[in-house]
Homo-oligomer: A and B are copies of this chain.
Amino acid sequence: MTDSPQHHSQTAAIVECAQEVRATAPLVHCLTNSVVKEITANVLLAAGASPAMVEHPEEARVFAGIANGLLVNVGTISEEQTDAIRAAVATANAQGVPWVLDPVAVGGLPQRTELARELLDLKPTAIRGNATEVVALAGLGQGGRGVDSTESVESAREAAEALARRTGGVVAVSGERDLIASSGRVTRLTSGHSLMPLVIGTGCSLGAAVAAYLGAARSSGMSDHDAVVAAHAHLGAAGTVAGRSAEGPGSFHVRWLDALHALSPEEIAQVVELEDAA
């Protein structure tokens, strides 16, 4: 990191957001895929937040209004979970609870693609996906079919900006170098480790962390954009640290959770590399 005023400000925002998460332990309602529920809960706990997976449609309708943030991940939707998602998003929008859409594998599979199209119109506070998913999701809005090929993060920039304009929210494209776009602003963040994609749920957990950070940031008047950047910084910095001593994906997973808990807000900000363009 350089010492420009911009970096000082961005660093300060990461530190402040991470402090706020630990001080307030935001309650995150996770409607996520069935493969990653345990790691998602453990990541939220290690990062300082509180997870709750309330999945019955009638309970989800109530609980989304109690939570500080909501995660909607369409990775393993069932009929009942789709009902729960609709109920929870309706409550979140009615009560001003920030919510995150993770469009897992959207574009190629029918049910989740239809659902994602519907959810996009409900204007998620933030969208988090990989480059292929973000490009596919942006294509939906234009009546397209989505893209199956693997995209680079940078190639998804236009798609991310188009989605940000359409929803009025923040759009994050995760990869080796994350790209976070909102109206008139793009932040690039480099962190993590090559073992990270070999542990299932590291990306999906990031969606949950974004919901936690949004919840904490709103209660203290920080911007949604800063919250999304800080969530990426926290999980990515822990990945960088974990990778230093991991011997493979098993020990990486363990050390990542340890580092999520151990890293101070200042350490998080120091580990990552940032580039911010207004």
Contacts and interface: CB of A to CB of B under 8 A. Distances in A.
Interface of A: 33-39, 41-42, 45-46, 51-56, 58-59, 62-63, 66, 75-80, 105, 108-112, 197-201, 247-251, 253-262
A198 B51 CA distance: 11
Contact of A261 (B46, B77, B198): B198
A26 to B, nearest CB: 15
Given A36-B38, A38-B201, A109-B62, A46 B78 contact: no
A62 B110 contact: yes
Given A53-B34, A257-B250, A112 B45 contact: no
A243 B236 CA distance: 26
B262 A258 contact: no
Contacts of A56: 76-79, 109, 111-112
A28 to B, nearest CB: 12
A79 B138 CA distance: 34
Top 6 A-B residue pairs of the complex, sorted by shortest distance between their CB atoms: A248-B258, A250-B257, A41-B200, A250-B254, A35-B37, A248-B261
Given A45-B199, A253-B254, 6 more contacts: A34-B37, A35-B53, A42-B200, A79-B80, A247-B262, A250-B261
A-side interface mostly: helix
Centre residue among A77, A197, A258 by max chain B CB count within 10 A: A258
Contacts of A197: 45
Given A45-B198, A248-B258, A109 B78 contact: no
A264 to B, nearest CB: 13
28 contacts: A34-B37, A34-B53, A35-B41, A38-B200, A42-B200, A42-B250, A45-B198, A45-B249, A46-B250, A54-B76, A56-B77, A56-B79, A56-B111, A56-B112, A58-B110, A58-B111, A59-B110, A59-B111, A78-B80, A79-B80, A247-B258, A247-B262, A248-B262, A249-B261, A250-B253, A250-B257, A250-B258, A251-B254
Nearest to A148: B66
Contact of A258 (B42, B55, B249): B249
